[in-house]
Structure 1
Amino acid sequence: MGPYLPDTVRQYATERPEAPAVTEGDRTLTYAELDDRANRAAQALLALGLDEGAHVGCLARPGTMSAEIVLACAKTGLVATPLNWRLTEGELTAVARDAQLRAVVTQGEFLPGARAVRAVLPGIPLIVDGEPAPGELAYGTWLKDASDSDPLHAGTGGTVFLQLYTSGTTGLPKGVQLTLGNVESGPSQLAEMGWSDRSVSLNAMPVFHIAGTGWLLVALSAGAHSVTVPDLVPQRVVDLMEHHRITHAFFVPAVLHLLTQLPDIRERDFSALRTIVYGASPITPVLLRRSMEIFGCGFYQKYGQTETAGAATRLLPSDHDPDGPRAHLLRSAGNALPGAAVAIVDPVTAEPLASGEVGEIVTRSHHVTPGYWQRPDENAKLFTPDGWLRTGDAGYLDADGYLFITDRIKDIVITGGENVYPVDVESALAEHPAVCDVAVFGTPDETWGEAVTAAVVLHDNADEVTAADLIDFTRTRIASYKKPRIIHFVKELPRNPSGKILKRVLRESLGG
């Protein structure tokens, strides 16, 4: 079996043709059917006159169509470009222009956005899984009429086949190019997470995010069955976990929080669960402990970014020991993945820092992007002079090589000349039984430069808790200079699609 995605699916389609590959609702594609439909989609895209490297936009929820288009692009040398259907039409068309899309495939519910894209890129084909208007193509017919022969494109590890746009918490989104080699999961990585061809995966993340597409590709590389969740409704998620006997799931901490708050969550049957992988944003020790207790399976943390195909380090299930001598590791992001390297450098000089010193996290591995699409200036900043990817995250490595993330470089709060890492304050506040969710950031202060400020979401039954109560609660848990000076009570925290808290929005709305 070849090491890259197209060869992997081809082989499973030959050796295990009736094995389930992707489920969406009541519909399941076997590996043979997925391979056949991807071949047809590939040939249909080529018949549109698209040349190698052309970008194919896809407006779709997780499911069979998005899987077919990503695999079709991998089979042809085209570049799948999942589009964020949550964007406004103006934001969406800006991304479409940047990607120079040559075709768009869309589900019917996203037709307004797809047509807005076509309006700014006149003449590009629009393929609709639904009711097309004159001049548009019907996805089902378009596929049915295409040849089923495999294009057998000679892709290599360096072939770009996927372009994901950063969520744009600051500035315009950038197109992160990912290659077949970037997303390759080797046997050791699969073994660490307990994958086999009998595994059943839950995919509850959007395909325009690396956690969604990346998790699908991991499941396909293992020959596993991927059950997709088109719309993330917590009750529906646990229903699917029980019904399909899910063994592997990926959740961002925000989703774990929602699931663990369900009234009947402790009565549900999760006995088939083997591994929950979590990542994409920081998790508090309180939430992690609660999740481990409820789900009763192995937990595996991934730290990475779109620019690292989602992974640079991992915290293994064996390192999740909340009551043992290494309980402090629950605050870490683990150590480097097999074949990857992680280091800490001075964010200004890029000089290496010693164990325990806080600096910028840098990494290199076969997972690292070749760069942003048509952004030479950004690419020059993305890498150190000796080729390490600069993550923009702050952290340190302990003596055993475990990575502890302190925050984004730009999110460090400097108060009275002292650096305060929001994650320390968030972890302390999260231990209060009344706190449901929390984010810490800096706001202007005439005396101290910045004031440590917290936005707090309380549990429904905790309305009588005051800001003074929470500030007092932190006094014995963190140094005095770290304790919050200002606390705002809010109904919810603003988040991007990956679950990351938009601290920029909080600063603008609560910064005074």
Structure 2
Amino acid sequence: MDRPHYKFWPQRLPRSITIPVTSLWHNLATSAERFPDKAALVFFGRETSYRELAEQVERLAGTLHALGVKRGDRVVLDMQNCPQLVVAHFAILRANAVVVPVNPMNRAEELKHYITDPDAKVAITTGDLAPEFAKASDALAPGERLAHLIVTQFTDAFDAEVQGDEAPPAAWHDWLLTRHPLPALAGGQAMAWSDALAAGHPPPAHVVGANDMALLPYTSGTTGLPKGCIHHHSSLMHNAYACQLWGLSSSETVVLAVVPMFHITGVVSVLHTMIISAGTLVIMPRWDREVAGRLISRRKVTSWTNIPTMVIDLLGSPNFASFDLGSLVHIGGGGAAMPQAVAQRLYEQYGLRYVEGYGLTETAAPSHTNPFENPKQQCLGIPFMSTDARVVDPDTLKEMPIGESGEIIIHGPEVFQGYWKRPDATEAAFVEFEGKRFFRSGDMGRMDEDGYFFMTDRLKRMINASGFKVWPAEVELLMFRHPAIQEACVIATKDAYRGESVKAVVVLRASHKSTTEQEIIDWCRENMAVYKIPRAVQFVDALPKSGSGKVMWRLLQEAENKG
């Protein structure tokens, strides 16, 4: 295969790399040994050094071990960005176990699946989310429930009295400052974070390595419930190590950690890349443009991985002129295309080239990225280090000529092992091509004459709302539990800010014809993550169906696109 992108490959970088054979925990242990007094984390003005971080990890790993967590066990981690997420993530790895990261927007009905599917007996969460976990666990059969729930409060990690530029905004005070009581857990026990760290249990011997499972993030698809993606230490290590080299990260790098670290991009491109680099993570628990502007200015942030809507929002701040972005040397992201006009403004005003990339949960974040030296706008980039990617006809699997659209397939050390408990889905996700095992992305793209990849369409049915992937089949499954809904079909609707939003086309049961759009939306708000909630509900007498009885969602989508 001709690889025209090698002409644009950064001369400073190898095309493939040899990665450490150690576990991810070793990266933190090594950084703590080399830079013990350096700030690893910053959270609302409080700094945590690498020594302190490693010590907290060891203490929590000891408690997990005492609670019965063994090698290969899955432990659920459900938090917004905060220092405790970092501690818990590495403590699970230090205890030879597997991190199951969960989006904190999920509600009890959704959380049941994240307890039962990975056979998790221990979960770690924040006080505001703990009642949903208890509700989910209590609703399960006795043998499926959580045995232990470790609960932290946000103020375990910062001073509630903090003032000035690094203080949380007033709108966050109730959320961040409230200390919630521990919930009761049927058949199990809830434990306070402070008690878990102070228990004094020694951690077990660290015995896992490159070929042990480290992460089980869940991704949805065209059918059914979310599927766990099996990632070994090696696949995450590859992309963390490669991101460090690609982005010139070092112990002097200061990154704004605002993309969620429960998401694969935040886990790999931000968290693990910074820890392996011994850089500093300036942590934001959620997006706020004023907080971001002040933190970039005050903490001299050098690197910011984001989704484009964050940049657009920051540039629109009435206080934007007071922010100092001069320290930034790297800005980039993915999840949605950066509008050309915004990318141009960043370059003209600040000399910053917005570097877009592409990847999936199955590829441990980046499988493609743009070279800093030669980025193209609204472009996925070129295949990442050690990676081979092609564009093929999705039916014949023949490689497509330059410029023609086909399915993007990916081979490389960052590709996951397969889907947890789903050999059928695993088999369908891979194809042999030129003697190698390639992952079928389900995304349609094309390659230009320079070897850069561009997105053209999606084979999979998926809605992209501000970078969050919403899978209609999952939303429909939840909506079918509403007593008034006989049938539902979820499609995308255009949204000027989010790019796309969720719309539900609903057939009501004859006994519930008086149900309103707002009642449906309110019910969804109670039962699903906020980004999945339909922003619009359209009532119809019947859904279009094929001869075999399948709902013809494409007809509804096409009608919506024309509307």
TM-score (ref. length: structure 1): 0.77
Instruction: Report deviation, 1:148.
Output: 5.1
Instruction: Report deviation, 1:261.
Output: 1.7
Distance 1:168 1:295 in 2: 39
Partner of 2:4: none
RMSD: 3.3
Match of 2:129 among 88, 106, 110: 110
- 1:305 alignment partner AA: L
Deviates more, 1:151-160 or 1:342-351: 151-160
Distance 2:57 2:405 in 1: 46
Partner of 2:9: none
Partner of 2:371: 316
Structure with greater contact order relative to length (CA < 8 Å, sep ≥ 6): 2
Partner of 1:36: 55
Distance 2:104 2:344 in 1: 34
Partner of 1:257: 312
Partner of 2:152: 129
Distance 2:51 2:450 in 1: 45
| Closer, same or farther: CA 279–396 of 1 in aligned 2, 3 Å | same
Partner of 2:234: 181
Distance 1:335 1:496 in 2: 33
Structure 1 residues not aligned, in runs of 5+: 321-328, 413-421, 424-435, 438-452, 460-494
Identity of aligned residues (%): 25
Residue by residue over 1:411-467, the C-alpha shift from the partner in whole angstroms, topping out at 9 and shown as x without a partner, is: 69xxxxxxxxx99xxxxxxxxxxxx99xxxxxxxxxxxxxxx9835389xxxxxxxx
Distance 2:493 2:146 in 1: 49
Partner of 1:62: 81
Q: Is the 8 A contact 1:265 1:294 kept in 2?
A: no
Instruction: Report deviation, 1:266.
Output: 4.0
- 2:150 alignment partner AA: I
Distance 1:388 1:37 in 2: 40
Deviates more, 1:185-194 or 1:308-317: 185-194
Partner of 1:190: 244
Instruction: Report deviation, 1:208.
Output: 2.1
1:11 aligns with 2:11: no
Match of 1:455 among 481, 494, 502: 494
Distance 2:24 2:558 in 1: 43
Instruction: Report deviation, 1:265.
Output: 2.1
List aligned pairs for 1:259-274, cutoff 5 A: 259-274=314-329
Q: Is the 8 A contact 2:370 2:382 kept in 1?
A: yes
Structure 2 residues not aligned, in runs of 5+: 1-19, 154-180, 468-491, 499-527, 537-552
Distance 1:40 1:249 in 2: 31
Distance 1:309 1:153 in 2: 23
Partner of 1:406: 456
1:368 aligns with 2:415: yes
Distance 1:212 1:48 in 2: 28
Partner of 1:140: 194
Match of 1:350 among 397, 403, 415: 397
1:77 aligns with 2:132: no
Instruction: Report deviation, 1:147.
Output: 3.2
Distance 1:497 1:23 in 2: 28
Instruction: Report deviation, 1:186.
Output: 6.3
Distance 1:157 1:2 in 2: 5
Distance 2:76 2:67 in 1: 14
Q: Is the 8 A contact 1:280 1:305 kept in 2?
A: no
Instruction: Report deviation, 1:507.
Output: 3.6
Partner of 2:46: 27
Match of 1:341 among 388, 413, 416: 388
- 1:166 alignment partner AA: T
Instruction: Report deviation, 1:30.
Output: 1.0
- 1:357 alignment partner AA: E
- 2:152 alignment partner AA: D
Distance 2:493 2:75 in 1: 42
Distance 1:278 1:101 in 2: 32
Distance 1:78 1:244 in 2: 34
Instruction: Report deviation, 1:201.
Output: 0.8
List aligned pairs for 1:424-503, cutoff 5 A: 455=494, 457=496
| Closer, same or farther: CA 502–40 of 1 in aligned 2, 3 Å | farther
Distance 2:428 2:495 in 1: 35
Residue by residue over 1:213-237, the C-alpha shift from the partner in whole angstroms, topping out at 9 and shown as x without a partner, is: 2211111111100111112112111
- 1:129 alignment partner AA: T
Instruction: Report deviation, 1:146.
Output: 2.8
Q: Is the 8 A contact 1:276 1:299 kept in 2?
A: yes
Distance 2:81 2:38 in 1: 20
Distance 1:498 1:317 in 2: 32
1:200 aligns with 2:254: yes
Distance 1:114 1:133 in 2: 9
Distance 1:8 1:357 in 2: 42
Name the SS of the counterpart of 2:128 in structure 1: helix
1:227 aligns with 2:246: no
Distance 1:220 1:507 in 2: 43
TM-score (ref. length: structure 2): 0.70
Number of residue pairs the alignment of both structures matches: 432
